[in-house]
Structure 1
């Protein structure tokens, strides 16, 4: 096959354009405490708003810059990382943080112990040309080897032979989460983005809500969600409940919740792209102000200029060009509340991303799913 006939990478079975190229059966899970709930995080919600909100703001950038929190991942991890391959693609680790302090205490349903957890994690792979993306959700309960790492404060943390994936963040923060992902995948993360509970809820309200259609009623007292089947314009509180719910959908596992989150992301991407009709400078500034207060980034994205430039590279990706999958896992026969990596299938995912290719369908066939797909209509 000639170079000119190789299809552009992206969505499986999508012919794209020609350009030159240089379920295992689920089980109902044991109920968990409501304390450590997941938060949906999406780069487009914050970064996409910045592109729009930045237009015409001029000097306002200076005040917005002060809002952004950042972590120097490169300094913390040093040189012991996968090779940084410059092939036009980008890999971004996007985390949802559940800090048990301040306004997040009430939203997370926990105690104000000052700790921080990350219950939602996604690897966003933006293909060369920045017209398509693959998003790989990492279940928080996956048992993985956690490597030794040094956090952003210079404190070293010992390795663990087998630990829950989300323990990396609670142990050593963003740097250790990135280190664990890179060790597991062999892929260097180009960027890091993090959003918290309260910021997510406020951002959805600032956007005017997000429209979703549910194909069945969802009731979950733990996430304070009660939706009848049909179309809804979700408020920030309802959206947060939707992306946190487990018991109201599928087999009651985190895997089912991930499927809801993935469907919601697509609806949110469409919502953000529609903001372009807004012309009020005050409204745009409010959106940008909320977005910059919501995110924590790596040090390469710690200014409005850099973050807006990064977002500009994402705004051409429509929801139809986003392939969303869950990292291949199987239920742990020894513990109903844990999942194990399906290594052979996972390697198919990582190899595809390393080579900027579409993730093959075979990588996610006959894997644990959570049985909640289709609850939100696409």
Structure 2
């Protein structure tokens, strides 16, 4: 997937109207409560963490631990980073990419040359006390000033003005994506998570699907998605189609797709607590095995025990305690397939998160939306 030897996560993109992109042991724990089962669905990638949080530290530890892939973000970025806050909050960059390597190739879309771009990026801010979270989606087509960065193999990549955000990942891998986000926001990313989109599809199938309601028909052959208005239990392929579609809803932009992704995250959060798979040891193992093969984490989270501890610290968070917004942007007058950061409004968000405060409503008022809000909701 990525250039830094990690395996690719996430949602595939389409070149389409966005134009071509450059390659660039212990005892088993008691079954968790319903609240804990829903705790980590703050981003669709966190489905894997939900499973890990319920698995128990000793449940086939060595097998599951061997599945994990890690990236040493701290070593790659060194000391030239924003200062960590000491208010008890955490920032996690959750990333998805559209690599076509390995098992992802058969799922289609994008390129098939093994290159990767980050098609989904979410900054998850966990507030002090770990009872609520703020999630900020970064549109992949945002033009940004990418800083000079070093990838996980030690290669250096020059800074670039007005680069598309998702090219940070294809240029220098996860480390470059983190560096770009930190440069944009002034916020330290305490952790990094990414997910393989073929694994995402399998996870949804093993979870028994996710129930959503569509308020109008969605038909997008490019994403292999055909849903009539109404309530549906989406299987893995349909869920993948929903979170990747952009032409079947709204104005056809990436901003509309982000709104569908955010709605799906909340539907997933509400669904997980009702599944009851954690009482079935065989199904639990299958989920944990898939999750650990799917998720790639920074080295600080690079073990089953670390992921369990991380998930356990988030058990107070449910969908009703997640505020989800898109980074304030406007369409680029020179190219409607690109967006520009509304810097003053975005700064309101970064200041709020730095100070562990709620995201102000004024930060997103009057910004580009993609016009897909309300198309998907929980039943």
With normalisation by structure 2, the TM-score equals 0.88
Shift of 1:60: 0.3
Shift of 1:58: 2.2
CA–CA distance in structure 2, aligned partners of residues 129 and 34 of structure 1: 44
Q: 1:44: which partner in 2? A: 46
- Contact kept? 2:264, 2:377, Cα under 8 Å: no
- Contact kept? 2:245, 2:257, Cα under 8 Å: yes
Q: 1:82: which partner in 2? A: 82
Q: 1:356: which partner in 2? A: 356
Q: 2:13: which partner in 1? A: none
Q: 1:328: which partner in 2? A: 328
SS in 2 for 1:143: strand
Shift of 1:269: 1.4
- Contact kept? 2:277, 2:283, Cα under 8 Å: no
Q: 2:98: which partner in 1? A: 98
- Contact kept? 2:18, 2:338, Cα under 8 Å: no
Shift of 1:107: 1.4
- Contact kept? 2:331, 2:339, Cα under 8 Å: yes
Matched, 1:208 2:208: yes
Shift of 1:302: 0.6
- Contact kept? 1:219, 1:248, Cα under 8 Å: yes
1:66-106 alpha-carbon deviations (Å, 9 max, x no partner): 00000000000000000011211110000012222111112
Query: CA 1:110/1:329 → structure 2, altered by over 3 Å: closer, same or farther?
Result: closer
Matched, 1:246 2:246: yes
SS in 2 for 1:46: helix
CA–CA distance in structure 1, aligned partners of residues 111 and 121 of structure 2: 23
Matched, 1:116 2:116: yes
SS in 2 for 1:124: strand
SS in 1 for 2:249: coil
Shift of 1:31: 3.1
Aligned match of 1:31 in 17, 25, 35? 17
1:305-329 alpha-carbon deviations (Å, 9 max, x no partner): 0011111122321101100000000
- Contact kept? 1:215, 1:230, Cα under 8 Å: yes
Shift of 1:35: 9.7
- Contact kept? 1:48, 1:315, Cα under 8 Å: no
1:129-180 alpha-carbon deviations (Å, 9 max, x no partner): 1110010000000000000000010000000011000000000000000000
Q: 2:269: which partner in 1? A: 269
Shift of 1:41: 5.6
CA–CA distance in structure 1, aligned partners of residues 65 and 58 of structure 2: 12
Q: How does 1:225-374 map to 2 (within 5 A)?
A: 225-276=225-276, 278-374=278-374
Q: CA RMSD for the aligned pairs?
A: 1.8
Tell me how many residue pairs correspond in the alignment: 344
- Contact kept? 2:45, 2:200, Cα under 8 Å: no
- Contact kept? 1:34, 1:109, Cα under 8 Å: no
Shift of 1:262: 0.1
- Contact kept? 2:99, 2:111, Cα under 8 Å: no
1:191-233 alpha-carbon deviations (Å, 9 max, x no partner): 0000021011011011010000111110001101000001100
CA–CA distance in structure 2, aligned partners of residues 309 and 202 of structure 1: 24
- Contact kept? 1:96, 1:121, Cα under 8 Å: yes
- Contact kept? 1:98, 1:108, Cα under 8 Å: no
- Contact kept? 1:41, 1:195, Cα under 8 Å: no
Q: How does 1:121-132 map to 2 (within 5 A)?
A: 121-132=121-132
Q: 1:14: which partner in 2? A: none
With normalisation by structure 1, the TM-score equals 0.88
Shift of 1:34: 10
